[in-house]
Chain A
Amino acid sequence: MSSELIITIFVAGIAAGTTLVFAAVGEIIAERSGVLNLGVEGMMLAGAVTGFLVNRQVRAPWLGVAAGISAGATLALLLAVLVVSFKANQVVTGLALVIFAIGMTGYLGESVVGVPPPVTFNRIALPGLSDIPVLGRIFFVQDALVYLSYVLVPATWWILFRTRTGLNLRSVGESPETADAAGLSVTGTRYAAVVIGGAFAGLAGAYLSLARAPSWVPNMTAGRGWIAIALVIFATWSPLRAALGGYLFGSVEALGFRLQTVGFEVSTFFIAMMPYLFTIVVLVLISRGSVQRRLAAPSALGNAYLREER
């Protein structure tokens, strides 16, 4: 394999991975507050279709992104109402949200399936940075949303681990009783974390339909929301490691399709399976020797909180 090919794989890997990075970072925020958001896939779909439709109407991709973010956040709010206020089971609620979103986005996007968008995000070479040998071409000849992820990922890490807001959020996910006794609002924190997480998922979806593969196809996220959830475990709930993992997973996705272009004789169907199988293999590998991981997981993940439970 030539070095040129390897670079193209990584360039495509960053682009493919960015969707996963946005979604996984959002999921980290939600899970750090103790809420397992299994609705990511649905929120991504909502972000994708809304972003696409709005961009088509107003011909402004950034407005599309904003709309996608709001769509993800809105669905997340619905999830928060059910799991935080109504204390519904987090697994079923997440699934219900995905099923609902597949239906809703299919309905809303029915008229624009396969229609090309008027404007999309294009690659911009960052002056100076893109001249760095190898790395410059991989990281700094990308579209604006990829650059946005370069800012959002470290910012999220910094807020989670270096500010009071992050400390409060993490305390709610580790021990809601303690947070409550310290006078913090468990309910408020969880709502905020879930909605912000949903906004990230919406952004991830909008990235797909406006930049990565500019179009709308029903169910176009194709399980990436679930891969993002696996990525969170892989990243031991750290946004920085999630970015790393996202690019790794993205590169695996990119690898398959590049292999084909150089005349590797494998059916597209088997190549399309690779990201799913890779994710399962990674999940198995990390669930062994997992003392560290068990310490890293938020202790109250998945549990509803009611003060007067007895």
Chain B
Amino acid sequence: MKPAGGLRPRLVKRLLPSRRIRVAVRLIALLGAFAVAGIFLQATGRGAGAVYRAMWTGSFGSPYGQAQTILAAIPLIFTALAVAVAFRMLLWNIGAEGQFYIGAFGATAVAYSAPDWPRWLLLAAMVVGGLVGGALWGLIPGALRAFFGTNEIVPTLLLNYVAILLVDYMVNGPWTDPATLGFPLGKPFSESAILPLVGNTAIHSGIYLALAAALSVSMVLSRTAWGYKIKVIGSNARAASYAGFSIPRNMVAVMLLSGALAGLGGMVEVSGVVHKIQANISPGFGYTGIIVATLARFSPIYLVPMAVLFGALVVSGTELQTLGLPSDIVLMLQGVILFFALAGELFVNYRLVWRAGTVSDHPSTPAPVSNRAADLEQAG
């Protein structure tokens, strides 16, 4: 392709976007983001090489980092699943962060009220607490959308602030640990409220819950009649109500499931990692989950490896902090990756064609007027 004088670019929509280009675009987006962020780091006086090296060491580059990466990927799987499930119906759940907090809240309430229950019973009750908490938090915007037509984007987001403030209140008041002298930390959980580790690794058994959740969501969405219904509603709501599917009822159901998944993430985090409730239990897992789900094209299966990748990014921020560098670099990088991926989507859906002013010399022979010709033939 030679951009000679007089040639102008033009977009032509692809009938079926190609998978190969999609993967290529994702890879280029990742590399491009690191390059651009590197230039920014260099320009603001922090050596990009040093920062990236620290990030590597803190994530994939050391056994400790690898374990931390998996630990960060677990909550991301839950929040990304929450986003992906809602998006099946074209609902934007940007409230996974809040649902995560309320899930943690629910699980903690259980853990504090029955600390002496046997481990498996208590953990099961905490799972229920997390699911119910998250589901209720998802229900609010879901029901508002279903019954009053209130768009869910702003309510889901604003409820994040409310959820965080609620947890802040609890850890500064009713649940505060007097031993910490006023720090916003809850009392440590009892032994039986803590998720056991997997073998002799540092990874807790919440990973099984995360993988099971991803598999079940995938199964429900692709194999069941309900999954089919919500896909129809998401693809074409008019066709869905024409076929007799209840949109409000399914909308509420989807938001309940979405919230419950994020809430389970909150339970797993307090029970598996933090071992108590505290302020700032999430470094933005809900928001990063949106990026993970988007980049995985809302597939419950593909989002698992994507969550590992972003888990690495999240924990590499912690490593930066220990070196005295701001962990915000990591958040910025996440944004840039998504920018690149979004821009790249254009090349997935459209072809760029260079053409001259009025006359062109396309060497290709005209394609047959396939479908319309078939109609004519058949009639004749």
Question: In the complex, what residues of A have CB within 8 A of residue B328's CB?
Answer: 102-107, 110, 218
Q: With both chains docked as a complex, state the minimum distance between the C-beta of B353 and any C-beta of chain A, in angstroms.
A: 10
- CB <8 Å contact, A100 and B335: yes
- CB <8 Å contact, A103 and B162: no
Question: In the complex, what residues of A have CB within 8 A of residue B13's CB?
Answer: 306, 309-310
A38-B153 contact, Cβ under 8 Å, with A87-B346, A309-B13: yes
Question: In the complex, what residues of B have CB within 8 A of residue A95's CB?
Answer: 94, 287, 290
Mark each residue of chain B from 259 to 294: 1 if its CB lies under 8 Å from any CB of chain A, else 0.
Answer: 000000000000000000000000010011011001
Question: In the complex, what residues of B have CB within 8 A of residue A6's CB?
Answer: none
Q: With both chains docked as a complex, state the minimum distance between the C-beta of A170 and any C-beta of chain B, in angstroms.
A: 22
Question: In the complex, what residues of B have CB within 8 A of residue A284's CB?
Answer: 144, 148, 150
Question: In the complex, what residues of B have CB within 8 A of residue A38's CB?
Answer: 153
Tell yes or no: A122 within 8 A of B by CB.
Answer: no
- CB <8 Å contact, B342 and A92: yes
- CB <8 Å contact, A277 and B162: yes
B-contacting residues, A255-290, CB 8 Å:
267, 269-270, 272-273, 276-277, 279-280, 283-284, 287-288, 290
Tell yes or no: A65 within 8 A of B by CB.
Answer: no
A99-B169 contact, Cβ under 8 Å, with A223-B161, A283-B150: no
- CB <8 Å contact, B335 and A106: no
Q: With both chains docked as a complex, state the minimum distance between the C-beta of B345 and any C-beta of chain A, in angstroms.
A: 6
- Across the two chains, which residue of chain B brings its CB closest to A283? B150
- CB <8 Å contact, A86 and B162: no
User: 3 closest Cβ contacts across the A-B interface?
Assistant: A100-B335, A103-B331, A103-B332
Q: List 13 A-B contacts (CB under 8 A).
A: A82-B339, A82-B343, A88-B346, A92-B290, A96-B338, A99-B288, A100-B331, A106-B331, A110-B328, A230-B154, A270-B165, A276-B161, A283-B144
The interface of chain B, by Cβ under 8 A from chain A, is 10-13, 44, 92, 94, 144, 148-151, 153-155, 157-159, 161-162, 165-166, 168-169, 172-173, 284, 287-288, 290-291, 294, 326, 328-336, 338-339, 342-343, 345-346, 349-350
Known: A82-B339, A99-B338, A103-B332. 16 other contacts (CB 8 A): A82-B342, A86-B346, A87-B349, A88-B346, A91-B153, A99-B291, A100-B338, A103-B331, A104-B328, A107-B332, A223-B158, A269-B166, A276-B159, A276-B162, A280-B155, A308-B12
